Amino acid sequence: MEIIIDGGTIVTISSKGIIKDGAIVIENGRITDIGKSHELKQKHPRYEKINAKGKVVIPGLINTHQHAAMSLLRGYADDFPLKQWLENWIWPLEKHMTGHDIYVGALLTAIESIMGGTTTVNTMYHYMNEYNEAKAFAKAGIRGIIGHVCFSWRKKEDIKALRTLAKNWHNKANGLIRTSVDPHASYTVDPEYMKKLRDLTTELNEEYGSPTKPIIWHMHVAETSDEIEKIRQTFKVSFEGGVVEYLDSLDVLGRDLIAAHCVTLTPKDIKILKEREVKVSHNPISNLKLASGISPVPSLMKAGVTVALGTDSPCSNNKADMFEVVKTTALLHKGVNQDPSLMPAEQVLRMATIEGARAMLWDHEIGSIAIGKDADLAIVDFKKPHLYPLHNEVSHLVYSAEASDVETVLIKGKIVMENREIKTIDIHQVLEMAEKTKESLLERLAKRSS
């Protein structure tokens, strides 16, 4: 299909900067031309036209840390101390989740993400065979990396799941779906298993991956302050230093790792993250809600580490809203460092787009509006009171725009939402399924407890 998005202000997140009264030409899912409206629309008079007058076109936002299926538990338990929250609420209910539940939860998150201008999601959950997050993402038409989360207590099951996941889903759904290997964290995956997962990743990449379409790693790293103590106690190691330094001692760090959170880092940890080219996924809303601490993002960026953004799960956020994460990132580090010039708007918008693509090793195809890249785009309606008057598009995108201002979304050139209507799936059916699935999940929990 050939499309021309015409008449909008294009925020390219590239050296082309901002193009007013611009146009984007899309052919076979890719951006083939970018320029001024009056030039491009004469060149392509018969292309399907999307009128973007008075609107702002941005690269689709990239969410680098999710557990998409957990939307079913949104608002189920909040405001509890972490241990109590996990052990008394989240884990007991999660135990009852079936593959179909996971599918429904991920579908709900996929739709919510698209409706908020997010076109790519990196999600970590339990992979199940028939129904799973990959199937849900493919159905919704959203781009994503689907991981299977690994724990020491289920090695055999994990390895089987990782093999099936890579085989069935890596580089599938017209290239929109990739897969990852997701050690849960340094304190739940023992040193031997961690190394074994590295070997397995190499093996899986040889069979199913390629240098430009790799199977990557996704892990929780240094989320809370007690991790190194847990590692010492659980694995009987006598390590002194930070969690990143510990992981480096196992020789498992690399440019293909998305390290979620990175809240409690030593200066040496930051140095290692840079040296090993590890990518950090910053999740400020989740870190605040769970009171994990505040990631030293300005220091990470100063050290030259790639920092991208994530929502984390709908239980610790409780949304899949990247606009909210963008604004919170811009605000939080100014506030806690008492410096209003930190994290300026443009920098944070880059973190939600091109830096996210870099983190996912996908920046040759997504993350900015550039000729040759896939057309993953969000068209934002600026005709709203909170976006008036207009002094500066980037300021408005970061500080004033909200998820619901996104009007139309394209992923790989396919219109997945138009005028806020999801085109890939019946949204009312998904909402109904989500409510029913939650009810049945709670019933199973009640039965088991009684």
Contact 378, 62 (CB under 8 A): no
Q: Which of residues 365-394 bind its own copies (CB under 8 A)?
A: 383, 385-386, 388-392
Residue closer to its own copies, measured from CB, 14 or 404: 404
Q: Which of residues 196-255 bind its own copies (CB under 8 A)?
A: none
Q: Give the gyration radius of the chain's Cα atoms.
A: 21
Instruction: State the minimum distance, in angstroms, from the CB of residue 394 to its own copies.
Output: 9
Residue closer to its own copies, measured from CB, 35 or 293: 293
> Which of these segments, 119-127, 156-164, 166-174, 334-342, binds its own copies (CB under 8 A)?
334-342
How many residues touch its own copies (CB under 8 A)?
73
Distance set, CA 47 to CA 6, 33, 411, 423 (Å)? 11, 13, 18, 20
Instruction: State the minimum distance, in angstroms, from the CB of residue 446 to its own copies.
Output: 14
Q: Which of residues 398-427 bind its own copies (CB under 8 A)?
A: 399-400, 402-405, 427
Residue closer to its own copies, measured from CB, 124 or 441: 441
In sequence order, the 6+-apart residues with CB closer than 8 A to the CB of 75 are: 318
Residue closer to its own copies, measured from CB, 72 or 360: 72
> Which of these segments, 37-45, 143-151, 340-348, 360-368, binds its own copies (CB under 8 A)?
340-348
Residue 137 contacts its own copies per CB under 8 A: no
Q: Which of residues 72-131 bind its own copies (CB under 8 A)?
A: 72-76, 78-82, 85, 108, 111-112, 115-116
Distance set, CA 25 to CA 58, 142, 219, 347, 373 (Å)? 14, 21, 37, 27, 11
Q: Which of residues 280-309 bind its own copies (CB under 8 A)?
A: 285, 287-294
State the Cα–Cα distance between residues 321 and 114, nearest whole angstrom.
10
Residue 35 contacts its own copies per CB under 8 A: no
Strand partners, 411: 414
Torsion of CA 252, 261, 366, 395, to 10 degrees: -150
Instruction: State the minimum distance, in angstroms, from the CB of residue 41 to its own copies.
Output: 25
Residue closer to its own copies, measured from CB, 104 or 181: 104
Map residue 230 onto helix, strand or coil: helix
How many Cβ atoms from other residues are within 10 Å of residue 76's Cβ?
17
Residue 352 contacts its own copies per CB under 8 A: no
User: Phi-psi category of 436—alpha, beta or left, where left has phi over 0 and alpha has psi -120 to 50?
Assistant: alpha
Residue 446 contacts its own copies per CB under 8 A: no
- Of 70, 65, 68, which Cα lies nearest the Cα of 315? 70
State the Cα–Cα distance between residues 29 and 13, nearest whole angstrom.
19
